[in-house]
């Protein structure tokens, strides 16, 4: 247990469902399903394969004799032929027709597509659950004004919900990309050793119709509509690149969210969950480190860099195929999915217990609001008989003075008092304070949140309404 390396992705981060998709058990059971689909299709198209042989294959499809395969692989040094042999040991009547006409990539590549397809669909369900929880958060706080930042410098106010809608919009883009990639996935099918279907062309005595029909039947038996029209020995490795790119897109969105949460935690405006007995620092007992957001950023960095792997593989394949893709694929594809699963689990967990501090938000906004309100104050002064150009210059100078008092003397923002003392503005301190209603300066923030969620998010949530409400526990 403790004497060999275990990937942190499986030990600490990814959920059990995603781990199973890329497990040996799932992989080799899928191989057997593909061998059964091939045998059924070949029988249907007239090859000498009996129902009895197929029944025998069906009987042992989920009973993998791993030890037999392992011992055989020591001898033949070939994983596919080792499992063909092991299946044949269990199915002596069908032994001769297992893998008939196929090459290793028939099971290897078709399985890779099937596993990525299942994993993408699991990612989509989790992503929609994040979108659901984030949309509820945005709606809850759509009216709460908060100081906006550009360049991390105070800017015109938004609302907490409006800011959350930016995170949500990133996820909507990811969702749309995800749906597109899933909709485009096809099986490799039965293409033979170099993609020419030569072995099947011979098996079916050069009957083009039957060879083409074989692809369609295998796809249908495996639950797919079609296969890629052409391939070399493998499906195009650009498919792997496309898949990991969409996962890396989710990582980008999550990383941006985690950055904002960590900055807000520093400002004491919003915090991720912090459990009663959680320790923030071994030395500083008072600390509340944003551990979940930091972990999300860390996993996102890994996943974004992982997307480079299939790009390199796809661009460096030679002719019909080289095997320098194999070891890389075994690492980069499963680990990319385990990483995105861990990221989405963290996102769900943070949203389940996220804490907002309205009083802190109000205080920080209040300290900057006099600066934000200068345009409104100037307009009120003009209505009271002032000269706009003259007032603009005065309010600029008074703003600079108020800024100096805050920065150099460490005092509160006294801009309103400075303006009230200047007779040119003809405004009392009470009149000026009435301009300090923060909701006057958030524009259409609240309406934008409502409209965005109703028009774009709710249709997605409605489609997945039976799969919403996912809860995730972060154990470590």
Name the residue among 348, 364, 30 with its Cα closest to residue 218.
30
353 and 209 belong to one structural domain: yes
In a domain, 310, yes or no: yes
Is residue 151 part of the annotated active site? The answer reads yes
Residue 130 lies in a domain: yes
The answer to whether residues 185 and 313 belong to one domain is: yes
Domain shared by 151 and 217, yes or no: yes
The number of CA neighbours under 13 Å toward the Cβ of 254 is 36
CA distance 457 to 469: 15
Q: What is the DSSP letter of 440?
A: G
The tens-digit pLDDT sequence of the chain (476 residues) is 578 888 899 888 999 999 999 999 999 999 999 999 999 999 999 999 999 999 999 999 999 999 999 999 999 999 999 999 999 999 999 999 999 999 999 999 999 999 999 999 999 999 999 999 999 999 999 999 999 999 999 999 999 999 999 999 999 999 999 999 999 999 999 999 999 999 999 999 999 999 999 999 999 999 999 999 999 999 999 999 999 999 999 999 999 999 999 999 999 999 998 664 554 544 554 457 889 999 999 999 999 999 999 999 999 999 999 999 999 999 999 999 999 999 999 999 999 999 999 999 999 999 889 888 888 888 888 888 888 888 889 888 998 998 898 889 999 889 889 988 988 888 889 888 888 889 999 999 999 999 999 999 999 999 999 999 887 777 65
Q: Tell me: do 67 and 137 sit in the same domain.
A: no
CA distances from 470 to 128, 345, 348, 374, 454 (A): 10, 10, 8, 46, 21
Q: Which of 51, 151, 183, 282 is catalytic?
A: 151
Looking at 309, 330, 361, which one is the last position of a domain? Answer: 361
1 in a structural domain: no
Flag whether 415 is in a domain. yes
Return all residues near 278 (Cβ < 8 A) that are at least 6 apart: 291
Specify the pTM.
0.92
Compute the residue count for the chain: 476
156 lies in the same domain as 85: no
> Do residue 155 and residue 171 come from a single domain?
yes
- DSSP SS3 for 270: strand
Strands 153-159 and 270-271: unpaired
Q: Which of 50, 226, 281, 315 is catalytic?
A: 281
The last residue of one of the domains, among 97, 112, 143, is 97
446 is catalytic: no
Instruction: Tell whether 390 is covered by a domain.
Output: yes
Residue 334 lies in a domain: yes
Q: For position 313, what pLDDT does the model report?
A: 96
User: Are 80 and 114 members of one domain?
Assistant: no
What integer pLDDT is reported at residue 276 of this predicted model?
46
Clarify whether residues 90 and 209 are in a common domain.
no
88 lies in a domain?
Answer: yes
- Residue numbers of the domain that contains 311: 104-361
Asked if residue 108 and residue 91 are part of one domain, the reply reads: no
The CATH number for 131's domain is 1.20.200.10
pLDDT of residue 476: 56
414: CATH: 1.10.40.30
Q: What is the structure's pLDDT at 286?
A: 46
Q: Which CATH number is 56's domain given?
A: 1.10.275.10
Among 267, 248, 268, 266, smallest CA distance to 256 is for: 248
Last residue of one domain, picked from the residues 330, 361, 392: 361
- Take residue 449 and report the two structure tokens written for it: 């949140």
Q: How far lies 359's CA from each of 145, 356, 366, in Å?
A: 11, 9, 10
What's the structural domain count of the chain?
Answer: 3
Q: Are residues 111 and 66 in the same domain?
A: no
276 and 390 both lie in a single domain: no
Q: Are residues 108 and 93 in the same domain?
A: no
Per the domain annotation, does 471 fall within a domain?
no
């Amino acid at each position: 247990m403790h004497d060999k390396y275990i990937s942190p992705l499986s030990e600490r981060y990814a959920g059990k469902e995603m781990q199973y998709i890329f497990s040996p058990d799932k992989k080799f059971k899928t191989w057997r399903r593909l061998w059964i689909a091939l045998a059924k299709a070949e029988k249907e198209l007239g090859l000498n394969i009996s129902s009895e042989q197929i029944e025998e294959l069906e009987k042992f499809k989920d009973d993998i004799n791993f030890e037999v395969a392992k011992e055989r692989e020591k001898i033949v040094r070939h994983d596919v032929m080792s499992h063909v042999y092991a299946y044949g040991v269990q199915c002596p009547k069908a032994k001769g027709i297992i893998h008939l006409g196929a090459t290793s990539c028939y099971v290897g590549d078709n399985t890779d597509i099937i596993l990525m397809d299942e994993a993408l669909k699991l990612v989509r369900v989790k992503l929609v659950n994040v979108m659901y929880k984030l949309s509820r958060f945005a709606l809850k706080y759509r009216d709460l004004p908060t100081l906006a930042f550009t360049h991390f410098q105070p800017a015109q106010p938004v609302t907490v919900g409006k800011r959350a809608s930016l995170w949500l919009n990133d996820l909507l883009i990811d969702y749309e990309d995800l749906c597109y990639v899933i909709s485009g996935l096809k099986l490799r099918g039965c293409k033979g050793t170099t993609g020419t279907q030569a072995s099947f062309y011979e098996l079916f005595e050069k009957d083009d119709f039957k060879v083409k029909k074989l692809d369609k039947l295998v796809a249908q038996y495996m639950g797919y509509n079609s296969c890629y029209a052409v391939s070399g020995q493998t499906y195009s490795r650009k498919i792997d690149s496309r898949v990991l790119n969409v996962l890396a897109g989710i990582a980008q969105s999550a990383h941006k969210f985690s950055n904002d949460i960590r900055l807000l935690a520093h400002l004491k405006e919003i915090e991720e969950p912090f459990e009663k007995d959680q320790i923030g620092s071994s030395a500083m007992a008072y600390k509340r480190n944003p551990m979940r957001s930091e972990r999300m950023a860390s996993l996102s960095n890994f996943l974004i860099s992982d997307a480079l792997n299939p790009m390199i593989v796809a661009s460096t394949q030679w002719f019909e195929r080289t095997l320098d893709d194999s070891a890389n694929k075994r690492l980069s594809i499963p680990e990319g999915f385990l990483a995105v699963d861990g990221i989405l689990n963290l996102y769900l967990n943070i949203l389940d217990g996220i804490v907002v501090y309205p009083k802190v938000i109000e205080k920080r906004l209040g300290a900057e609001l006099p600066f934000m309100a200068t345009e409104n104050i100037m307009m009120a002064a003009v209505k009271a008989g002032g000269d706009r150009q003259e007032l603009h210059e005065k309010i600029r100078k008074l703003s600079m003075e108020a800024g100096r008092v805050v920065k150099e003397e460490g005092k509160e923002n006294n801009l309103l008092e400075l303006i009230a003392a200047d007779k040119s503005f003809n405004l009392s301190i009470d009149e000026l304070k009435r301009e300090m209603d923060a909701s006057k300066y958030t524009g259409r923030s609240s309406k934008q949140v409502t409209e965005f969620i109703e028009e774009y998010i709710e249709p997605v949530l409605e489609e997945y309404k039976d799969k919403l409400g996912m809860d995730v526990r972060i154990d470590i």
